Amino acid sequence: MGWAFYNVPCSDTNTSLHPFSLAKGLVTSGRNTCTPYHSSTVKIPFVAILRTNLHQEMNYFPDEVIEHIFDSIASHRDRNSISLVSKSWHKIERCCRRRVFIGNCYAISPERLIGRFPCLKSLTLKGKPHFADFNLVPHEWGGFVHPWIDALARARVGLEELRLKRMVVSDESLELLSRSFANFKSLVLVSCEGFTTDGLASIAANCRHLRELDLQENEIDDHRGQWLNCFPDSCTTLTSLNFACLKGETNLSALERLVARSPSLKSLKVNRAVPLDALTRLMSCAPQLVDLGVGSYENEPDTESFAKLLAAIKKCTSLRSLSGFSEVAPLCLTAFYPICQNLTYLNLSYAAEIHGNHLVKFIQFCKRLQRLWILDSIGDKGLEVVASACKELQELRVFPSDLHDEEDNNAAVTEVGLVAISAGCRKLHSILYFCKQMTNAALITVAKNCPNFIRFRLCILEPNKPDHVTSQSLDEGFGAVVQACKGLRRLSVSGLLTDKVFLYIGMYAEQLEMLSIAFAGDTDKGMLYVLNGCKKLRKLEIRDSPFGNAALLADVDKYETMRSLWMSSCDVTLGGCKRLARDAPWLNVEIINENEDNGMERNEEDEREKVDRLYLYRTVVGTRNDAPSCVTIL
């Protein structure tokens, strides 16, 4: 029997591993080894056949071989597709699945997860809905990680990695985590809350093989204890340490000793309390760093400190990524000039005090930059410089520096900056842009210049603001974006928008997975265009828009194909939500009330009452039992 290879397109962007695409691949002759290609293709050793029934042929191989083949498929979606091919593939796949991603922690229970994937090593969990970031979800809403850690511990799962986003984590959970998994290696917490540095101390003390502790934008109660001291002297395996979000003092000598005994450390992000001289010493003993987050340096350094810093920075020839700078005197920034041209990622979006001129002077030397996060103090002129200097730019985020619009803000950015970027940076595929104003003409130009957008998030600071030149709505502009950018997966719209923009989105945004809407639309038709048109939609979040029951109830089955729907300050009523909950028992329909005390009373209220906040999501485990009183689950 001969061997042949099927080129299996396994990208985790568009095509999923449909069984028929397995069969229809090109047949190429050649080697009989199965090597995982890079992330996008897998060559499968295979007996020469014509077309379908690939899985039946593959079943002639022992399970271990099939497992080996599956191991090289990394994308979650492709793994999910494989498991649907046949019973035997389902069984093999689940037993060898190492990494699981759960986008909504209430969609499934820990017990069922462990039952299906007993060999789990890495778990990613997301809790609160996205709008929790903007204070639209009460603190006590939910998203507790403890039941998960508890269940994994009791089932003796060999957990090695835990990644959490918007979840509530307690010190008890961290302590349990640190004691239950002997091989635990990596903890990544993003936008979580509920724990203190005591919890971090448990992790440091008990996780013998810890490689990664990455804390991003969490609310952590800093007890100013000695958690860094809790890393034992035998801990030498750290590759990544990020505690930038801690607000308190840091034990500098403990930190320096830790860094000195971590030769594999590639990523270090310190907090504001690490002064310049300590940073210099840290960089001197870790010149292998690839990713550095610096602290806060308000004062200009004296000449000697500056010279030492410069010398240390020059040795960090592997540095590719720079962030932090919560307050930084401009001279400090210049110390980093020697490594500018190596940087691929630069995040100066917390440096509120730096004037735009200094930012521009720095960035113009960063010729290899791929990702840039910056404040709008850079201004349109600054963005023009970025456009001419950073030709490799793929992702740009421009955040607002002044939320209260108090200053006569000359420095804020407008459509001019966006157009300049689109003209100069043709590789751009992701943008988050907060601006004062926009025009249809600009958006149309941007769409033409950069048809490769996969993420396009535009936030015009003032709700309902029209095209500032023509005073029309921005329907045409966003319409041009969705029409040109055929791979668009995430979109946030703003400004004055009618139902028409949603017609365009429904018609053209075929790959759209996440849509964020605020202060937009005229009638239910708007929401219906989206629900009917965007076949791949997974997350829809809407606030302050006139969509009501007719749109909500038109196609109840649609929500089974989506992860979640959020609607706040819209026109849906209690009656409509109750009806939805009745028609779709596989959904959790949560009403979040403004007034916590009225939680239970609301049920007797008028069903024509508008619902303040609605959050619904598909689930296989029914109503959750940890909801607070301000949440009513219908």
Partner 1 sequence: MEKDGLELEITELRLGLPGRDVADKMMKKRAFTEMIMTSSASNSDQCESGVVSSGGDVEKVNESPAAKSQVVGWPPVCSYRRKNSCKETSTTKVGLGYVKVSMDGVPYLRKMDLGSSQGYDDLAFALDTLFGLRGIGVALKDGDNCEYVTIYEDKDGDWMLAGDVPWGMFIESCKRLRIMKRSDATGFGLQPRGVDE
By CB under 8 A, the residues from 117 to 156 that bind partner 1 are: 131, 133-136
Are the C-beta atoms of 201 and 226 separated by less than 8 Å?
yes
In which residue are the tokens 């003209």 written? 423
Residues 512-571 that bind partner 1 (CB under 8 A): 516, 518-519, 522-523, 525, 543-544, 546, 569, 571
Helix or strand or coil: residue 316?
coil
Q: Which residues pair with 540 in a beta bridge?
A: 515, 565
| CA atoms within 13 A of residue 383's CA, in its CB half-sphere | 27
**Nearest-angstrom CA–CA distance, 282 and 286:** 6
Of residues 22-51, which lie at the interface with partner 1 (CB under 8 A)?
A: none
- Whole-angstrom distance, CA of residue 478 vs CA of residue 441: 10
Among positions 384-443, residues that touch partner 1 (CB under 8 A) are: 399-408, 434
Provide the token pair at 631: 């949440």
CB of 620: closest distance to partner 1 in angstroms? 30
Query: Token pair of 300, please?
Result: 């200009």
Q: 400 or 576, CB closer to partner 1? A: 400
CB of 235 to partner 1, least distance (A): 28
Q: What whole-number distance in Å separates Cα of residue 114 and Cα of residue 265?
A: 32
Interface with partner 1 (CB under 8 A), residue from 98, 361, 381, 486: 361
The footprint of partner 1 on residues 202-221 (CB under 8 A) is 217-219
Stretch touching partner 1 by CB under 8 A, among 107-115, 285-293, 495-503, 623-631: 495-503
Residues 592-611 that bind partner 1 (CB under 8 A): 610
Give the separation between CA 316 and CA 557, rounded to whole angstroms. 55
Decide whether 261 or 355 has the Cβ nearer to partner 1.
355
289 touches 283 (CB < 8 A): yes
Which residue from 340, 378, 481, 514 is in contact with partner 1, where contact means CB under 8 A? 340
- From the list 455, 450, 453, 456, the residue with the least C-alpha distance to 474 is 456
* Length of the chain counted residue by residue: 634
Answer for which of 7, 180, 357, 452 binds partner 1 (CB under 8 A) is 357
> Does residue 483 touch partner 1 according to CB under 8 A?
yes
Which one of 99, 179, 315, 468 is in contact with partner 1 (CB under 8 A)?
468
Instruction: Write down the least CB distance from residue 522 to partner 1, Å.
Output: 5
- Nearest distance from residue 437's CB to partner 1, in Å? 8
- Taking the C-alpha atoms of residue 338 and residue 291, their distance in angstroms, rounded to an integer, is 15
Q: Please, which residue, 147 or 546, has the CB nearer to partner 1? A: 546
Q: Which of 79, 185, 281, 358 binds partner 1 (CB under 8 A)?
A: 358
Interacting residue with partner 1 among 81, 473, 564, 588 (CB under 8 A): 473
CB of 328 to partner 1, least distance (A): 12
Q: Judged by CB under 8 A, does residue 249 bind partner 1?
A: no
Q: How far is the CB of 565 from partner 1 (least distance, A)?
A: 17
Which amino acid makes up residue 5?
Answer: F
- CA proximity to 355, closest of 396, 327, 314: 327
# binding residues, partner 1 (CB under 8 A): 79
Name the minimum Å distance from CB 470 to partner 1. Answer: 9
Residue 91, C-beta contacts closer than 8 angstroms, at least 6 positions apart? none
Distances, alpha carbon 438 to alpha carbons 9, 324, 393, 475, 478, in Å: 39, 30, 22, 12, 11
CB of 100 to partner 1, least distance (A): 26
Residues 445-464 within binding reach of partner 1 (CB under 8 A): 459, 461-464
Under DSSP, the state recorded for 302 is P
Beta-ladder partners of 568: 543, 613
Query: Rule CB under 8 A: which of 146-205 touch partner 1?
Result: 191
- Residue 68 interacting with partner 1 (CB under 8 A): no
Closer CB to partner 1, 25 or 324, in the complex:
324
SS3 530: helix
Q: Would you count residue 476 as binding partner 1 (CB under 8 A)?
A: yes
Beta carbon nearer to partner 1, 33 or 471: 471
Which CB sits closer to partner 1, 378 or 581? 378
Residues 6+ apart with CB under 8 A from 100: 76, 113, 117, 120, 122, 123, 124
Query: Residue 320 and residue 305: Cα distance in Å, rounded?
Result: 23
**Distance from C-alpha of 52 to C-alpha of 50, rounded to nearest angstrom:** 7
CB of 187 to partner 1, least distance (A): 18
Helix runs in 396-474, H state only: 415-424, 440-449
Containing 113, the helix (H) or strand (E) segment is helix 110-116
From the list 13-21, 223-231, 497-505, 556-564, the region that binds partner 1 by CB under 8 A is: 497-505
Q: Which CB sits closer to partner 1, 137 or 537?
A: 137
The encoded tokens of residue 74 equal 């990394």
Shortest reach from residue 82's CB to partner 1, in Å: 36
Give me the sign of the Cα torsion angle 24, 29, 32, 37. Answer: negative
In the complex with partner 1, the residue whose CB is nearer, 371 or 543, is: 543
Q: Which of 407, 411, 315 is nearest to 359 (CA)?
A: 411
Bridge pairing between strands 564-568 and 613-618: antiparallel
CB of 617 to partner 1, least distance (A): 20
SS3 label, residue 526: helix
Contact call for residue 507 and partner 1 (CB under 8 A): yes
Distance of closest approach, residue 466 Cβ to partner 1, in angstroms: 5
Per DSSP, what are the bridge partners of residue 588?
617
From the CB of 174, what's the least distance to partner 1, in Å? 20
Among 300, 560, 583, 596, the residue binding partner 1 under the rule CB under 8 A is 300
DSSP state of 314: H
Among 471, 557, 585, 604, interactor with partner 1 by CB under 8 A: 471
Shorter beta-carbon distance to partner 1: residue 10 or 245: 245
Cβ atoms of 143 and 166 within 8 Å: the answer is yes
Q: Considering beta carbons, is residue 513 or 571 the nearer one to partner 1? A: 571
Q: Minimum CB separation from partner 1 for residue 158, in Å?
A: 33
- Give the binding range for partner 1 (CB under 8 A) out of 20-28, 232-240, 283-291, 465-473: 465-473
* Per CB under 8 A, 94 contacts partner 1: no
Q: How far is the CB of 233 from partner 1 (least distance, A)?
A: 31
Q: Which of 346, 359, 353, 357 is nearest to 396 (CA)?
A: 346
Q: Per CB under 8 A, does 334 bind partner 1?
A: yes
